[in-house]
Amino acid sequence: MKKFLATMLSLVVIPLILTAQSFEIKPVSADRPADATFRVPYMIKADVPSVLKPSSYQTLGAKYISFKTSSGNDLRGSWMFIEDTEPITYEPKSNTFVVAGRDIIATEEGQPFHLQTGIVYTISSNNNGKTWTTPTEIFRQQSNFDVMPTIAVANPSGSNDPADFSYFVYSRVARAEEGQTSAPFYGAHFIFVSPDGADQIALKGPDLNNPSQRQKWFKTNAVTTSKNDKDYAVLAGQLLPDEGFQGGNYGCAHIDMTDIDVLSSIPNAWAVTKFRQPDNPTSGSHYNNGIYIDNDANGTVYACVANMFVDDPESRVVGFSKSDDNGMTWSEFEKMSPQILSNYAVSQGAYKDSVFIAPYEANAFVVYGTDKFSYFTRLYVNMPYPIEDESHIVEIKYDEGTWSIHKVATLLNPEMAFGRMWAINLQKPQETSTDDELIPF
């Protein structure tokens, strides 16, 4: 165990090299299904334009299942429910959960891969996930394959019908060309859906403070705010650099869901120079964790990270930045003192400098009041010999200027503490079905 923890301690001082996923998007079968239980994402050609109109907002009868590799293995990790994305959201007025999903379809028999079509759809539940609606397609585009969706929802009319909601969906997009056997990633689609129709904007990366557009959209999460009779979404995420450029940058988008407009940037307050610098920036390496956002009842948006900041590069601590204008501008990061971690170590019977935040792991963040939030993460605790080292899930709280830390649980098997947790469950969507399908929640 001591050797294990020593290995994990070394991660604090070794930059993470962020690389693109090596998975390839492969073609789906274009054979007409023989019966209703045919298990490939397939639909017969439908007359749905790339920009939908209200009359085309429809429920589809096709079966949507997780995309698989050519060997039959699920790609749910990279392609749907990857960490640090937000494919599920909650609409409180109607008590509705909404999930954004994606798939690849052949629109005619024998269709070449580069002509196949990526689709984005939603499903919803108003009984806390006990049952879900059939998929409703919101966007399709030939030769463009959307993955890793994040969704935000607004309900300006207070309706209980999800068809009356307004949606913003972010999806990373891969583009196929004739003769290719895989689809390289391009950037992202910003998809807007309302009862009046739908539209999309394609962006490679943030527009402002993005040197030569070399930082591309990657993993994101989003929140919805309402001000002056307008609905906004704020999107934030870690970006993916082109080869030869530094990793660890964060992008933000201010999204006007009413007027369908996007303003995006790498905020000055979030500049990569605010954090510990790697020895070789051009390698794409960095020390930064993911970024998480949430908002309070007044519409103030909070962005939170657990990073090594440049003014104390040996300590990984939680810090947050705020925006009062729907993500247009951000404050400098306010950081917790490393003493908070030292005090926690002593309270657990460990030496004061023997506790640190797990790097490069998916965390959780929730704002529950004005200047009040909780950040959930994992701590590694190096206990004095002969006591076994421990891993803890903890809640790091900020309450109007006061930081504190509380243990949620001790992980009994620390070696298993570093995997992702997926919001996926195996269940039968229909009583008559004999095939289990991967359904969210």
Tokens coding 314: 């040996």
Could you list the beta-strand ranges (E) of 257-354: 261-265, 285-286, 292-295, 301-308, 316-323, 334-335
Nearest to 280 by CA among 233, 240, 244, 234: 244
231-257 pLDDT, tens digit per residue, is 999 999 999 999 889 999 999 999 999
141-197 pLDDT, tens digit per residue, is 999 988 889 999 999 999 999 999 999 999 999 888 887 767 888 889 999 999 988
Nearest to 144 by CA among 207, 191, 193, 189: 189
367-418 pLDDT, tens digit per residue, is 989 999 999 999 999 989 888 888 898 999 999 999 999 998 888 765 555 5
Range with lowest mean pLDDT among 48-62, 65-79, 192-206, 283-297: 48-62
Instruction: Tell me if 166 sits within 8 A of 226, measured CB to CB.
Output: no
Instruction: Tell me if 407 sits within 8 A of 350, measured CB to CB.
Output: no
Could you list the beta-strand ranges (E) of 10-143: 16-17, 88-91, 96-105, 117-125, 136-142
427 vs 154, higher pLDDT: 154
Tokens coding 246: 């530094």
200 vs 318, higher pLDDT: 318
* Full DSSP string of 149-213: EEEEEE-TT--S-GGGSEEEEEEEEEE--TT-SS--EEEEEEEEEETTEEEEEEESS-SBS-GGG
- Structure letter (DSSP) for residue 330: -
